[in-house]
Structure 1
Amino acid sequence: MSTPQKHTTSERRIDLDWVRIGAFGLLIFYHVGMLYVSWGFHIKSAHRLVWLEPLMLFLNPWRLALLFLVSGVATRFMLGKYDRLALLRARSARLLIPLIFGMLVIVPPQAYDQVVESAGYPAGFLDFYLRHYLSFAVQFCPGPCIVLPTWNHLWFVVYLWVYTVALLGVLALWPPLADRLGTRLAAALAGPWLLILPCLLFVVWRLALFPNFPSTHALFGDWYNHADYATAFLIGFLLARQDSVWSELERQRWATLAVAAGSFTVFILLRAGLGATLAPPPALKISAGVAYGCYQWLAMAAVLGQARRHFTADGPVRRYLTDAIFPYYIVHQTAIIMIAHALQGSGLSAGLEASIVIGGTVLVCVSTYEIVRRITWLRPLFGLRMEAKQPVKVIPQPA
């Protein structure tokens, strides 16, 4: 039976473990949804589900920023266990080994299925891999124009490693910076400012950077995403040990959720064209950007507050998924694309097709983890420690 954990400033935040598990878990459903909406994706289903787009937009503004925020908290706690150099080694092993393995082994089938569907590539996978995938060049233009090799969904790993390296570089020059800035930021975010100030920051990024730097996940030149994700990462890092902030997030959880819902409603209505006859397009675009930026932070704050209140129970499920979720993340998009590609032309309904893709992807994720965690040399390729943690044996003392 799981037991609730008291709110403390300990190095194990069960509520944030659940947030991380939930945010990564949403990726399976989100990326399946990408098969059916009008936005660009590596491959597309024959079905288009217009009603799905508002649901996708409900998640899109905050799901990834929330992961970076939780990663920032984890980085701060790791600094309590390791010195900076040891932390860099640990995070590099955890991120760069799976990244390189993923780019060489996991991601290539995604790129192959994409060029088959988009460019009508006639040859087999081995021909594609040897002739094109390892070319280190832009390929298949003017069709999909893919830079190969690619990291596709593993961009998150790259960005997190870069932010960690940059942060550790700054701390090497000024070690006390984390504690001083964390204390000052917590004081500045007292009361309603906890909801207002971060909102303003995300609004500025949306209005000032997004129009000129749309999302690419290509690392270089992706300035809007860097502003968004690095901000979330730093917020998590600086506030990790500021228990007053986490208590305030919990206290304001329902008010935050209500305001987040209002901000999202305004954004969706403006995006749908409501008010087009009442205000000029620039004003509507600015209003939509304000609503989007505020919704980003308020949604994250609502999730964090609710999790701190309701998701503090530990147990075997949490412990299992905490280790499993990163290998799930590594393989999930390849599974989605390969299964969806195999179903092309099957004539299945959208509901049945999506159910097969989701069920097959979950099966691939679970099977992969169950195999990988049992084979020592495979574990680091999927972001796991070389050896599984063993329970500590308690030796009874003689009376």
Structure 2
Amino acid sequence: MSVSAPFPLSTRRHDLDWIRVIAFFLLILYHVGMFYVPWDWHVKSPHTVPALEPIMMLTSPWRLTLLFLVSGAATRFLADKMVMADKMAVGALTRARVARLLPPLLLAIFVIVPPQSFFEIVEKVPDQALPYAAFYLKYVTGSGHWCRGTDCLATPTYNHMWFVAYLLAYTLVLCGLLAVAGSLLTRLERGMERALSGWRLLVLPLLFLGLIRYALLDRFPMTHWIVNDWYDHALSFSAFLFGFLMAKSETLRQGFLRLRWPALLVALPAYAVFATYAWAYRADDAVPPEALRAVMRFVYAADQWAAIAAVLGFGARHLTRDSAALRYLVPAVFPFYLVHQTATVVLGHYLAKAGLPQGLEAPLLILGTFATCLTVYEAVRRVNPLRPWFGLKPRPAVRLETQAQPA
């Protein structure tokens, strides 16, 4: 059975590569912002900045959903390389994705994330803090029982690497679907092109996101714990599958191109309305009317999908060129993501103790986070045994061949 019919090959989508790089860059800035915004996080600045809340809301509704979408698209390009109608190739895809995602996830859980939990304990429950070696033993054995009231820290944990854990799970589900129902996914792709033609590309996904948020969010609040995070799974797996199916659709690419300005004109007022609502009811004891909460579910979805549609449309229009910078940044994304939050937590904890003016401290925290990520990336990409642990493909062995010389 040939896959060229159901999954035709096409050139690489540089716009999706650029979008992925930019979205992860924004994610790093977002996590630096979490150090300063009043919302709960692992460590906090002693001088929070409430005015950051609306700024954080600029990307919060759509950034991670967009990342799942482009991750699905990346999986599609890898799948086509492996000729996906061949069940042996489905197995090869499964092994390739597990080899790419599982080692960094394990490295994060047991090496990179523990300092985040350590400093969280130091700041939130200092009376329960231990020397790092003693902490780590309790961390890996899950015997710490670090609690503040009823809020307890369970270890070992993946913290920000929940995204990779979910991505690995979704990839395994997708590979199962490809193995048993590859032709069904082909028909689904074609049907999706027809169903989302014209204005429906903007409206129907928006309604879907609003409905699942309305129906599931109250029953299954987002926890980033994989076993019971059903609203997040409905949202993120749908985005992942959509990205897989739309990655090589010229029809949908043209649709996003045409809708980029209408999508932006929907996203901006939706953001303004929801950010105002979130600000008005930001207090812990603030309870909005139930009817207003229901309406805001769909306003949030309008911001979420319209922003994604605008990003995809403007990306397809302006981010189509390959470059040396893009070729450098695409493989750097995973190591940067792996390291960045620990760098922010550790640097933020110590910078806060230095008593610097906030106007100096925040730029130092941003620069320090990116410098740490860059240093780690430049180091590990040169050491072949370390590359798979940071999501990089091993470099092929260099073969020395001798050629017969002419007499």
Q: 1:324 aligns with which of 332, 352, 365?
A: 332
Residue in structure 1 matched with residue 403 of structure 2 by the alignment? none
Work out whether 1:204 is the aligned partner of 2:193: no
Do the aligned partners of 2:78 and 2:93 also contact (CA within 8 Å) in 1?
A: yes
Shift of 1:103: 0.9
The CA distance in 1 between the partners of 2:241 and 2:106, in whole Å, is 26
Residue in structure 1 matched with residue 346 of structure 2 by the alignment? 338
The CA distance in 2 between the partners of 1:243 and 1:389, in whole Å, is 38
Do the aligned partners of 1:11 and 1:77 also contact (CA within 8 Å) in 2?
A: no
Do the aligned partners of 2:162 and 2:225 also contact (CA within 8 Å) in 1?
A: yes
In the superposition, the TM-score normalised over structure 2's length comes to: 0.89
Shift of 1:123: 2.6
Do the aligned partners of 1:15 and 1:311 also contact (CA within 8 Å) in 2?
A: yes
Shift of 1:58: 1.2
Work out whether 1:181 is the aligned partner of 2:188: yes
The CA distance in 2 between the partners of 1:70 and 1:58, in whole Å, is 19
Residue in structure 2 matched with residue 164 of structure 1 by the alignment? 171
Q: 1:229 aligns with which of 219, 222, 236?
A: 236
**Aligned amino acid, residue 384 of structure 2:** T
Shift of 1:11: 4.0
Shift of 1:349: 2.2
The aligned runs of 1:1-399 (5 Å cut-off) are: 10-82=10-82, 83-120=89-126, 121-130=128-137, 132-136=138-142, 139-142=145-148, 144-273=151-280, 281-387=289-395
Do the aligned partners of 2:213 and 2:231 also contact (CA within 8 Å) in 1?
A: yes
Q: CA offsets per residue over residues 166-220 of structure 1, 9 Å max, x none?
A: 1111222212122110000110000000000000111012111111211111101
Structure 1 counterpart SS, 2:35? coil
Structure 2 counterpart SS, 1:176? helix
The CA distance in 2 between the partners of 1:138 and 1:242, in whole Å, is 50
Do the aligned partners of 1:270 and 1:284 also contact (CA within 8 Å) in 2?
A: no
The CA distance in 2 between the partners of 1:44 and 1:272, in whole Å, is 20
The CA distance in 1 between the partners of 2:368 and 2:271, in whole Å, is 32
The CA distance in 1 between the partners of 2:69 and 2:129, in whole Å, is 43
Residue in structure 2 matched with residue 393 of structure 1 by the alignment? none
Shift of 1:136: 2.9
**Aligned amino acid, residue 231 of structure 1:** S
Do the aligned partners of 2:70 and 2:240 also contact (CA within 8 Å) in 1?
A: yes
The alpha-carbon distance between structure 1 residues 335 and 389, as it changes in their structure 2 partners (threshold 3 A), is farther
Shift of 1:10: 2.3
In the superposition, the TM-score normalised over structure 1's length comes to: 0.91
The CA distance in 2 between the partners of 1:314 and 1:348, in whole Å, is 41
Structure 1 counterpart SS, 2:154? strand
**Aligned amino acid, residue 101 of structure 1:** L
Aligned-residue CA RMSD in angstroms? 1.7
Q: Aligned residues: percent identity?
A: 47
Do the aligned partners of 1:9 and 1:243 also contact (CA within 8 Å) in 2?
A: no
The CA distance in 1 between the partners of 2:354 and 2:74, in whole Å, is 44
Do the aligned partners of 1:33 and 1:52 also contact (CA within 8 Å) in 2?
A: yes
The CA distance in 2 between the partners of 1:287 and 1:57, in whole Å, is 18
Structure 1 counterpart SS, 2:39? coil
Shift of 1:338: 0.4
Do the aligned partners of 2:121 and 2:129 also contact (CA within 8 Å) in 1?
A: no
Structure 2 stretches of 5 or more lacking a match?
Answer: 1-7, 83-88, 282-287, 399-407
Q: CA offsets per residue over residues 140-179 of structure 1, 9 Å max, x none?
A: 1235511111101011110001001111112222121221
**Aligned amino acid, residue 22 of structure 1:** I
Do the aligned partners of 2:124 and 2:148 also contact (CA within 8 Å) in 1?
A: no
Do the aligned partners of 1:271 and 1:288 also contact (CA within 8 Å) in 2?
A: no
Shift of 1:389: 10
Q: CA offsets per residue over residues 205-238 of structure 1, 9 Å max, x none?
A: 2111111211111101111111111111111111
Structure 1 counterpart SS, 2:38? coil
Q: CA offsets per residue over residues 86-115 of structure 1, 9 Å max, x none?
A: 111111011001100111111111111111
Q: CA offsets per residue over residues 40-80 of structure 1, 9 Å max, x none?
A: 11111111111110111111111000010001111122211
Structure 2 counterpart SS, 1:145? strand
Equivalenced residues, count: 377
Shift of 1:39: 1.3
Structure 2 counterpart SS, 1:385? coil
The CA distance in 2 between the partners of 1:326 and 1:79, in whole Å, is 19
